[in-house]
Amino acid sequence: MAKTKVLERKPLTFAEKTFIPQIIGGLKTTFGTMLKKGVTLQYPEERPVIPNNYRGVPTLVKDPNGREKCVSCQLCEFVCPPKAIRITPGEIDAEAEPDRAHVEKAPKEFDINMLRCIYCGLCQEVCPEEAIFLQDIFSLSGYSREEMVNNKAKLYELGGTLPDKHLKWDKKKAAESAGNAH
Amino acid sequence: MATTKEITIGDVNARASELETELQGETMALNVGPSHPTTHGVLRLMMELDGDVVKKCEPVLGYLHRGDEKIAENMTYNQFVPYTDRLDYLAPLANNVAYAMAVEKLAALEVPERCQSIRVLCCELARISSHLLGVGVYGMDAGAWTVFMFTFTEREKLYTLFEELTGARFTTSYTRIGGVARDIPEGWLGRVLEFCKGVLPVLDQVDKLLTRNRIFMDRTVGVGAISKEDAIAYGITGPNLRACGVDLDLRKDKPYLGYEKYDFDVPIGTNGDCYDRYLMRAEEIRQSVRIVRQCIDQFPEGAYYAEDAKKIFAPNKAKVLTSMEELIQNFMIVTEGPQVPAGEVYFEAENPKGALGFFVVSKGGGVPYRLKIRGPSFCNLSILDKLIPGHYLTDITVILGSLDFVMGECDR
Ligand code: SF4
Ligand code: SF4
C-alpha cells in the first residue's frame, strides 16, 4: 500500500496578506545573493573543466609508435545511429609499413559529418581497435557545410596520440622474433 | 442606416432575444504558439475568446514529430538509446532506464543489484533535475524570476554530475540493454551526496519566496483545478495526477528496480489546482533526495551489467581487444543487435512527467518489429480542451506551466 503524504495548504495569515513579510524576505534574498560569490563562468575567457571520458567531438587516434589504429572494419559506420560516418576502406602502404601491409587494412577515406553526429559515443564503444575516441572538444563552428565534415587528416590531427595499453603490433613483432607467430 | 423594428411593449422576451446578440458581442479567435514562450515548446493553442475569458481551446500537436517509433524499427535496440534521450529531454536518464527495462523485460533479463542501484540513482536525479526546472520555470511563468535562477543553479550542478557519469550533460544515452554504458566514476557518490545537501536549503529558499507569497497564491490557488474523476478519465499520470489526490505512483504500486527497498512517501494533493501541482513537485524533490541517500547508503558492489547475458550485452573492451571469441561476439551484438526473443511486452516507469510506457513487439532478433511509446505529456495535455475554457487568458500561462509537459515526448 502506498504511503502517502497529503500536501499541506495553510491559508495566509493577516500579516502575509499585507505583502510585507514577502517583501522583506525578497529583499533579504537579493542582498544575501549580492554578497555571495557568483556561480557563472565568463565563457569563453574562462573555460569549464571537462571531466574524463567526456563525449566531445569524435576523433581518430594513432598508437604511440605513430601507426594508424583504425583497421577500417566499418563497425562504427554501421552502428552510428544518424549515419554520420563514411569510410572507404583501403590498403596499407607496403613501402611504409611492410609488416602490416596485406595483413590489416586502413581507411582510405574516413569522414565524420559533424552536422549529423549526435555525440552519442557508440562509435567509441564498439570500436574493436580503440581507434576512435570522443575527446574533449565541445564547441565547433564553420562557415560552410563542407567545413563541418571532418576528413581523415583532420580527424587524426584532432585525435593525436593516446597512450595504448595493448600495442598490438609491438607484441606481435616480439612474438614473431621469439619464433611463435600467431 | 438605422433600421427600425416594431416590438410590442409588453413582449419582454422578444426584446431580450433581440438584444442578446448585441450584448454578447463578437468572440475572437486567438492563436498561441507554436513558438510562444508560454507554451514551453511547440504547442499551439487555438482559442476562442469572449473578452478575456477563453470559451474554447483546442491544442494542436505534432510540430515536433520526428517519427521516433518508426526510426526504432530500423535499428538495433542499443542504437535507439540515444533517441530516447530526446523524448522527455528534461530527464533523459529516466527515459534511458525505462526503455532499457522494457526491452529487458521482454528478454526476461535481470540486471545485477549494482546496476539497479545505479539506475535508481539515475532516475531519481533525473526527477530532481526535471522538477527543479518545473518549479523554477513555473515561478517564471507566474512572474517570479528569482526562483528560476536559484533552481537552475542547482540543476547546473546536477548536470555536471551527469556529465561526469555519462560523458554528456544533456543527451546522456547512458543505458544499454542489459546494463549501463559504464560504471560510476571514483568518488562520484560522494559528490551526489554533497549535491543533496545543497539542494534542500535552496528548496527552503524557494519555499520562502513562493509558497507563502500572496501574489503567487492569488495566481495559482483554485486555478486550473482538475477533479479526481477527470484526471483518471483523461489518463493523466505522474505529479499532475497525484496533485488531484489519486495516490498512483508506479514506484510504489508496481515496484521495479527494487524501489520497494526504499522508504519514501508519495505526496498527494487535495484540490488538483495549479498550486497543488507546484507543491507536489517541490515535495517530490525532497522525497527523491531521501531515496538517493538511502540508495547511496547501501550501494552494492558487483558488476554494472548482466554478465551472463552473452548475446545481449557486448563483452568487456579489454577482452574484445585480446580475444577472438569476444571480438566476434562484439561484432555480432553490434551488427545483429541484442538478441531478444519473439513476443510483446509493455512496461511503464514512473518518470518525472508521468508514466512513460514502451510497448515492444519483437519477432526475435535485435531489431524491434514495432515500438510504441506512451508519452505522459501527451496524455496530460489531452485535458486542455476541457480544463482551459472558463479561465482568463492570463491564467493560460499558469495552467500550462503547472502541467509541466515536454513537447519532445508529446510529439515523439
Ligand atoms: S558519436 Fe555517435 S553520432 Fe557521432 S560519429 Fe560516433 S556513433 Fe556517430
Ligand atoms: S574506427 Fe574502429 S570501428 Fe571504426 S572502422 Fe576503424 S577500427 Fe573499425
Give the chain A residue whose CA is nearest to the CA of B314: A126
* Distance between Cα A133 and ligand 1 center (Å): 10
For A126, which of B163, B212, B334 is closest by C-beta distance? B334
Residue B51 within a domain: no
* Distance between Cα A58 and ligand 2 center (Å): 12
Residue B3 within a domain: no
Compute CA distances A11 → A182, B99, B142, B216, whole Å: 81, 43, 19, 13
Residue A145 within a domain: yes
Residue A15 Cβ inside 6 Å of ligand 1? The answer reads no
Per the model's pLDDT, the better-predicted residue between B36 and A24 turns out to be A24
Burial class (CB in 10 A: 0-12, 13-18, 19+), B70: exposed
For B214, which of A5, A17, A165 is closest by C-beta distance? A17
pLDDT at position A1 is 43
Give the chain B residue whose CA is nearest to the CA of A4: B266
Q: Which ligand is located closest to the Cα atom of residue A69? A: 2
Per the model's pLDDT, the better-predicted residue between B289 and A25 turns out to be B289
The one-digit pLDDT tens for each residue of chain A (182 residues) are 456 777 777 777 777 777 787 788 788 888 888 888 888 888 888 888 888 888 888 988 888 777 778 888 888 888 899 889 988 888 877 777 777 777 777 788 888 998 999 998 889 888 888 888 888 888 888 898 888 888 888 888 887 777 776 666 666 667 666 665 55
Compute CA distances B29 → A101, A153, B41, B45, B382, whole Å: 73, 58, 21, 10, 20
Which of A85, A124, A132, A150 most suits a substitution to test ligand 1, by most atoms within 8 Å of the C-beta?
A85
Residue B366 within a domain: yes
Q: CATH number, domain at B274?
A: 1.10.645.10
Q: CATH number, domain at A70?
A: 3.30.70.3270
Pure H helices in B315-381: 317-322, 324-336, 376-381
Q: Compute chain A's Rg from CA coordinates.
A: 28
- Residue with the smallest CA separation from ligand 2 atom 3 is A127
Residue A83 Cβ inside 6 Å of ligand 1? The answer reads no
Q: Which domain holds residue B404?
A: 68-411
Residue A11 within a domain: no
Per the DSSP assignment, residues forming a β-bridge with B175 are: B180
B181 touching chain A per CB within 8 A: yes
Closest by CA to B403, choosing from B40, B31, B90, is B40
Q: How many CB pairs under 8 A join A and B?
A: 124
How large is the greatest C-alpha to C-alpha distance in chain B, in angstroms?
A: 104
Partner-chain contact B171 A120, CB within 8 Å: yes
In sequence order, what DSSP letters do the residues of B87-140 get, joined into one string?
Answer: SSTTSHHHHHHHHHHHHHHHTT-PPPHHHHHHHHHHHHHHHHHHHHHHHHHHHH
For B168, which of A5, A55, A79 is closest by C-beta distance? A55
pTM: predicted TM-score of the whole model, two decimal places: 0.85
pLDDT at position A136 is 85
d(CA B84, CA B68): 9
Give the chain A residue whose CA is nearest to the CA of B205: A29
Number of structural domains chain B divides into: 1
Number of structural domains chain A divides into: 1
Closest by CA to B83, choosing from B63, B66, B103, is B66
Contacts of B265 in chain A (CB under 8 A): 3-5
What's the whole-number mean pLDDT along residues B68-77?
Answer: 89
Residue A23 within a domain: no
| Ramachandran angles phi, psi of B212, nearest 5° | -105, 20
Ligand 2 closest atom vs CA A72: 5
Closest by CA to B243, choosing from B259, B225, B255, is B225
Tell me which residue has cell 503567487.
Answer: B216
- Asked if B282 contacts B207 with a C-beta cutoff of 8 angstroms, the reply is yes
- Asked if A131 contacts B320 with a C-beta cutoff of 8 angstroms, the reply is no
Closest by CA to B227, choosing from B212, B241, B209, is B241
Convert the pLDDT of each residue in B341-397 to its tens digit: 888 999 999 889 889 999 999 888 888 998 999 988 888 888 888 888 888 888 888
pLDDT at position B6 is 64
Convert the pLDDT of each residue in B93-122 to its tens digit: 999 999 999 998 888 888 888 888 999 999
* Distance between Cα A132 and ligand 2 center (Å): 7
Question: Confidence band (pLDDT; 50, 70, 90) for B8?
Answer: low
Share of chain B above pLDDT 70, in %: 94
Residue B351 within a domain: yes
The torsion defined by the Cα of B212, B213, B217 and B218, in degrees rounded to 10, comes to 140
d(CA B401, CA B144): 13
pLDDT at position A155 is 85
Amino acid at site B240: N
Residue B248: all three cell numbers together: 498512483
* Distance between Cα A79 and ligand 1 center (Å): 8
* Distance between Cα B405 and ligand 1 center (Å): 29
Give the chain A residue whose CA is nearest to the CA of B173: A120
- Give the containing element (helix H, strand E) for A79: helix A75-79
Residue A21 within a domain: no
Per the model's pLDDT, the better-predicted residue between B166 and B33 turns out to be B166
The β-bridge relationship of strands A4-6 and B266-268 is: parallel
Residue B332 within a domain: yes
pLDDT at position B127 is 92
Instruction: Give B64's DSSP letter.
Output: T
Partner-chain contact A5 B265, CB within 8 Å: yes
Q: Which domain holds residue A103?
A: 58-159
